[in-house]
Amino acid sequence: MKRRIFGLETEYGVWGSQEGPRRLSPDEVARYLFRKIVDWGRSSNIFLENGARLYLDVGSHPEYATPECLSVRDLVAHDKAGELRLENLRQGTEQLLLEEGAGGKVILYKNNTDSAGNSYGCHENYLAERRDNFEGYTRILIPFLITRQIFSGAGKVLKTPRGSRYCLSQRAEHIWESISSATTRSRPIINTRDEPHADSEHYRRLHVIVGDSNMSEYATFLKVATCSMVLQMLEESRYLRDMTLDNPIRAIRDISSDPTCQIKVPLASGKEVSALQMQWDFFEMVTEYITRGSPTDEEKLALSMWEHCLNGLSNDPLSLAAECDWVAKYKVIEGYQQRHQVSLDSAVITEIDMKYHALGKDGIFNRLQSRGVMKRLCNDNEIASSMNRPPKTRAYPRSRFIMAAKARNRDYNVDWVHLKLNDQAQQTILLKDPFAWQDDRVDRLIAML
């Protein structure tokens, strides 16, 4: 796999129960979550010991952005470390509420829609070469991202005026454009805001905002690894056939509404093709491209997992309950329906739909994983260590600076590219290379603390 920086930004849903004197609003719950770690008079945006970013986004959504990662497997571990971080905050919030006599239970959801139909995101970031190849995005990358939901979707019971139906993706119904610089006003598949957090002469940041938040490590890995390989082919203009969809927004919804993965959508050429067939086409192109070189272990693993999923989807989509979130959730809901004779419109089904994504031991996914039902890529120790261990990227000097400044009780500011001491000299270091994990300037600054 081409040397690349990866990152995930995940917004979490917030809910507070009415076990105390009154039900807390999402804004109040969010402020309780951050109370012990944020100076509200200053900022609700902090960088953590592992180089990650934790902040409160619009709509009272806690958001965890992983540090810059060099491998997809490391990205999965750091994404899961974010879940642990938020779960620790949740438990601390419940204890704080108890101490203050407010009481109540707090739930955090790693999903993309709330019960009112509002959507919040899981954004993927890929460091890409500085090319304005948007025509290639339309022909290749947009069709890939629309059709990969057959293995990366998180699953959703969608309420409609004609009754509820099960969909593959939570984000599909909330996407309105293929490419745009907006993120909330008209949510696109790819956000083109030019904010590389790196040397802008050489790099841009591909910001993909169409994907679902995955609980499954397997699905997260496959979602990112396959996209990176397709992006690499696009950058090198190799082995690519025109896959332009006639109507991308209609296609993403139609594909999401079909758990059989057999529905066909029209291409701009007039041909009709299913998402499954298009993914097989991408798999064959990527396999030919990757195997002509010297595949890395991560590339070999990604190709093996991709083929396994496409074979499962071709033969019986419901055979992938150990790998794909949408299938695992579907099986849980289907089992409950058969036992209790309830429809998808039932309130208890809505609760199950949400609870699949809940953090902590009460979350349905976490219960499945604790029973060994879900396939994994990382172990618990690896994930726990990622809460404090930065990758060997720009996150490493950021982490060292943060820990040193905290140990010496020094006031500082940090963002993705800056390290700053808030002293009389206002010493600031600009880190433009996201691959650089060693920096003499940072060593000298730390020595001066």
| Residues with catalytic function | 57
Reduced to 3 states (helix: H, G, I; strand: E, B; else coil), residue 191 is strand
Q: Are 359 and 91 in contact (CB under 8 A)?
A: no
Q: What is the CA radius of gyration of the chain?
A: 22
Reduced to 3 states (helix: H, G, I; strand: E, B; else coil), residue 375 is coil
Q: Which two tokens stand for residue 29?
A: 């719950």
Q: Scan for tokens 């060997």, then name that residue.
A: 392
Calpha distance 331→366 (Å, rounded)? 15
Helix (H) or strand (E) holding 36: none
Q: Angle 307-314-253 (CA atoms, 0-180°, nearest 5)?
A: 100
Q: Give CA separation, 135 vs 139, 237, 243, 281, in Å.
A: 6, 12, 12, 20
Q: Scan for tokens 């990227």, then name that residue.
A: 393
Calpha distance 442→232 (Å, rounded)? 32
Of the chain, the end-to-end C-alpha distance in Å amounts to 39
DSSP string covering 118-186 = -B--EEEEEEEES---HHHIIIIIHHHHHHTHHHH---EEEEETTEEEEES-SSGGG--EEEES-SSTT
Q: Which two tokens stand for residue 210?
A: 């169409």
Q: Angle 400-405-408 (CA atoms, 0-180°, nearest 5)?
A: 125
Q: Chain-centre distance of CA 247, in angstroms?
A: 25
Q: Are 28 and 12 in contact (CB under 8 A)?
A: no
DSSP string covering 200-214 = TTTEEEEEE--PPPP
Picking from 413, 415, 447, the residue whose alpha carbon sits closest to that of residue 431 is 415
Q: Which two tokens stand for residue 253?
A: 């919804």
